[in-house]
Chains A and B, each alone.
Chain A
Amino acid sequence: MNALKQLLLAAGLIAIATTAASAEPDGKALYTHRCGMCHQGIGMAVQILSRRPGDPSKGLLEQRADLSAEYIFVVVRTGTGNMPRISRAEVSDPELTAIALYLSRGKP
């Protein structure tokens, strides 16, 4: 986890989270624009996560209370299951930080 902590610190995630996120950038709007094609509505990820055995409620990330910003940050950059890794050109570190804090409801 040391490497992970370094990664998060480098991205400013922990710093931002502990000083309370400013109003910008807008994590909810960014989430819809950058992630919504797969993680909202009838997206690919909603399909896959919803059919995990025994827990269809996992499909919509915005409705979940079990996500931490740290976890989201790592999954986005390193991929998981069928989710490809997302580059910093597509979602920059500050944008990802805002998205992660939005989904984790401010939980680092």
Chain B
Amino acid sequence: MKQVLPPGMSAAQMDKALAAMARVVGDDWVLATDLDRDTYLDHFAVDESAHAAAAAVAPLTAEQVVEVVKLANTHKLPLWPISRGKNFGYGGAAPRLKGSVVLDLSRMKKIEFDAENGVALVEPGVGFYDLYDYIQQHKLPFWTSVPGNSWGSVLGNALDRGVGYTTYGQHTEKLCGMEVVLPTGELMRTGMGAMKDSPTWNLYRYGFGPSWEQMLVQSNYGVVTKAGVWLMPAPESMVGLDLELDKPEDLGWAVDLIAGLRRDGLLVQSPSLGSWLRGAATLTTRKEWYDKPDALPDDVIAAIRKRFNIGWWSVSLRLYGYEAVNEAAAGVIQAQFAKQTSQPMTVSRWKQGQPMNPSPGAAAVAGIPITFPLANAAWHGGRGGHMGYSPVLPANGKAAMEQFRRTYDRYKEFGMDYHGSFAMGERSVINVNQVLFNKDDADMMSRVNRFFRALVADATEKRYGEYRTHIDFMDLIASTYDFNNHALRRANEAIKDALDPNGVLAPGKSGIWPKRYRDQRA
């Protein structure tokens, strides 16, 4: 990728700013060749060039981040911070605003571990594999919670409200205490950390006065250089209850039943009801099944289900903790399901002292990092990709079924294979869709954008909003949060202008534009 520049900046100005940053991080860590720019493109994007970076700067320490951010202010240079840049389906490492310089924090990999309290204080470059390996090497009695793509950053995932599958799976809720470089280059600590040398920085979330941590999640108000992450104590036992549901409409009662278990607190993790393509797209490619361009028809769906012996929906519940408690809870849960279906649940049991060798599909629920689910990107053969579409619904079966039917029809209308799941929260359900596409199929790629916009329009009509989205659609999704003529966006941008008067930090992130670039809103 040839040189690209942010709006209003000349090549000479860019060169001058990068030269100044090189004096902070070292020449080796300003990455500005044509090939370097390519390495920060989003390989899943419909149009990769739309979000090309001008360069990347890769500091090693928080002190270097401070200096780089100050220089960004001096030179009026927009920065796009990434932790490890593995947010595939949402933009990867690429910036929202073309010509931004990626502030690549992947070299910052320090881990400090408080084994008494089960808290890891991690820098942004620490990946799930790094943290898992650290825990194993030091024989610490804690489990990580990992997402389906564990290649990424522990901190970056939590800062984008990513999820895992254990009782600590709501990653953003397990953040406690952050160190942040504000957009003007001031180093701040949140919560109890605002008191110098406080021993409770990573133990009590709120401190005194307003709590800033969620303000730093999915925002562009600061660069998080380290944060405390709470970890689940290694349980005495884990009990698994897996169920295959035969019919699409089984989704309704299953959502109602699991929602009740979540509200009760009997089930603390967030299971996901996933459709038949989840496994098939990981283990096979489409041409084994069907050679026409329309969405897979019912007979092919039946063949896939038969071969893998799976339901229309599959769901895995997991209980963690003391064995006696798990066994009692499992009994109650099985009895509740038995009222709805004659299909028995497959029960699995693990206890401390037994070897932990889960099947690939059961690794993530045991807190073991994985990447294999992303093999689904190759479903169509060729260069594949996926785009996340994830509206938030109330936790009730009727709403879930209506959402499923509406969305399923849209997949068929646009000739896309249905790839949806319903992730059960305490009071809500997130309908996660991984729209799988083939970048070598021009006709299909021409449909992706219209398909996505149709899905958003349908959800917005029901007043459902997305919890997270690709950089292509951040303005679109922000526009759907429209109470009182977008009062929230006005507040977000008032705060942005106060904290970031030069508009240097992640312009356009989550639809929040600083005054300097507000005309760039899509």
**Contact in complex: B378, A37 (CB < 8 Å):** no
Report B-chain residues with C-beta under 8 Å of the C-beta of A16.
Answer: none
Let me know if B377 is at the binding interface, CB within 8 A: yes
Of the candidates B29, B150, B371, B383, the one having the most CB atoms from chain A within 10 angstroms of its own CB is B371
A48 in contact with B378 (CB, 8 Å):
yes
Is A82 an interface position by the 8 A CB rule?
A: yes
Is B84 an interface position by the 8 A CB rule? yes
Stretch in B32-40, B325-333, B387-395 with 4+ CB within 8 Å of A: B32-40
Least Cβ distance of A25 to chain B in Å?
Answer: 15
The answer to whether B374 and A44 have CB atoms under 8 Å apart is yes
| B284 surroundings in chain A (CB, below 8 A) | 51
Interface flags for A34-63 (1: CB within 8 Å of B; 0: not) read: 001110001111111001000000000000
Q: Mark A76-87, 1 if CB is under 8 A from B, else 0.
A: 011101101111
A67 touches B (CB below 8 Å): no
Residue in B closest to A78 when the chains form the complex, CB atoms? B38
CB contacts (< 8 Å) of B56 on chain A: these are 87, 89
Q: Is B283 part of the binding interface, using a Cβ–Cβ cutoff of 8 Å?
A: yes
Cα distance, A45 to B371, chains bound together (Å):
9
Q: Is A7 an interface residue (CB 8 A)?
A: yes
Roughly how many angstroms separate A85 CA and B37 CA in the complex, as a whole number?
A: 10
A89-B378 contact given A37-B129, A38-B371, A82-B384, CB 8 Å threshold: no
Determine if B39 and A85 form an interchain contact, defined as CB atoms under 8 angstroms apart.
Answer: yes
- In the complex, whether A90 has a CB less than 8 A from a CB of chain B is yes
Most chain B CB inside 10 Å of its own CB: which residue of A43, A51, A81, A87: A87
Contacts of B370 in A (CB 8 A): 42
Whether the Cβ atoms of B104 and A87 lie closer than 8 Å is: yes
A89-B285 in contact (CB<8A): no
Separation of A42 and B357 alpha carbons in the complex (Å): 12
Of the candidates B39, B58, B372, B382, the one whose C-beta lies within 8 Å of that of A43 is B372
* Pairwise interchain contact B378-A88, C-beta atoms closer than 8 A: no
| Contacting residue for B377 out of A51, A82, A85, A89, CB 8 A | A82
Shortest beta-carbon distance, A86 to chain B, in Å? 6
- Counting CB contacts under 8 A, is B248 at the interface? no
Q: How many residues of B contact A (CB 8 A)?
A: 43
Which chain A residue has the least Cβ–Cβ distance from B360?
A: A42
Q: With A37-B371, A42-B363 in contact, do A86 and B282 touch (Cβ < 8 Å)?
A: no
A78 to B43 Cα, complex, angstroms: 10
Q: Chain B CB within 10 Å — which of A42, A43, A82, A85 has the most?
A: A82
Is there a chain A Cβ closer than 8 Å to B92's Cβ?
yes
Given A7-B35, A47-B283, also A87-B93 (CB < 8 A): yes
Q: Does A37 contact B369, Cβ atoms closer than 8 Å?
A: yes
If the complex has contacts A85-B38, A89-B31, A89-B104, are A48 and B43 also in contact, measured as CB distance less than 8 A? no
Pair A88/B363 contact, Cβ less than 8 Å: no
Counting chain A residues whose Cβ lies within 8 A of the other chain, the interface size class is: 20 to 34
**Cross-interface CB contact of B378 among A38, A43, A77, A81, cutoff 8 Å:** A81
| CA gap between A86 and B360 in the complex, in Å | 25
Which B366-386 residues have a C-beta within 8 angstroms of A? 369-375, 377-378, 382-385
From B31, B88, B372, give the contact of A42 (CB < 8 A).
Answer: B372
User: A85 and B41 in contact (CB under 8 A), knowing A37-B369, A42-B360, A44-B374?
Assistant: yes
Closest Cβ of chain A to B312, distance in Å, is 24
Q: A82-B377, A84-B92 are in contact. Are A38 and B151 (CB under 8 A)?
A: yes
Whether B285 and A88, one on each chain, are in contact in the complex, defined by CB atoms closer than 8 angstroms, is no
B28 at the interface (CB under 8 A from A): yes
- Tell whether A85 pairs with B43 under 8 Å between CB atoms, given A37-B371, A47-B372: yes
Assembled-state Cα–Cα distance A46/B360 (Å): 13
A65-80 residues at the B interface, CB under 8 angstroms: 77-79
B147 to chain A, nearest CB (A): 13
List A contacts of B369 (CB < 8 A). Answer: 37
Question: Is B106 an interface residue, CB under 8 A from the partner?
Answer: yes
Partner among B41, B107, B129, B372 whose Cβ is within 8 Å of the Cβ of A44: B372
Contact (Cβ within 8 A) B282 A47: yes
Closest partner residue, chain A, to B439 (CB atom):
A82
Q: Which A residues are in CB contact (< 8 Å) with B151?
A: 37-38
- The smallest C-beta distance from B79 to any residue of chain A, in angstroms, reads 14
B374: nearest chain-A partner, CB-CB: A44
Among residues of A, the one whose C-beta sits closest to the C-beta of B149 is: A44
**Across the interface, which residues of A come within 8 angstroms of B150, CB to CB?**
37
Partner of A89, one of B29, B92, B383: B29
Residues B149-189 near A (CB distance < 8 A): 150-151
8 Å CB interface, B121-167 against A: 127, 129, 150-151
Residue interface bits B393-431, CB-to-A below 8 A is 1, else 0: 000000000000000000000000000000000000000
- The answer to whether A87 touches B375 (Cβ under 8 A) is no
Who on chain B is nearest to A83 by CB?
B43
- Say yes or no: A89 contacts B58, CB within 8 Å: yes
Looking at the complex, which one of A51, A78, A81, A90 makes contact with B84 (CB distance below 8 Å)?
A90
Could you list 7 A-B pairs, sorted by A, with CB under 8 Å? Answer: A36-B129, A37-B127, A38-B151, A51-B284, A88-B31, A89-B104, A90-B85
A interface residues (Cβ-Cβ under 8 A, vs B): 7, 36-38, 42-48, 51, 77-79, 81-82, 84-90, 92
Since A45-B371, A77-B35, A85-B39 are in contact, a sample of 7 more A-B pairs with Cβ atoms closer than 8 Å, ordered by chain A residue number, is A37-B371, A48-B375, A51-B285, A85-B38, A87-B93, A88-B39, A89-B29
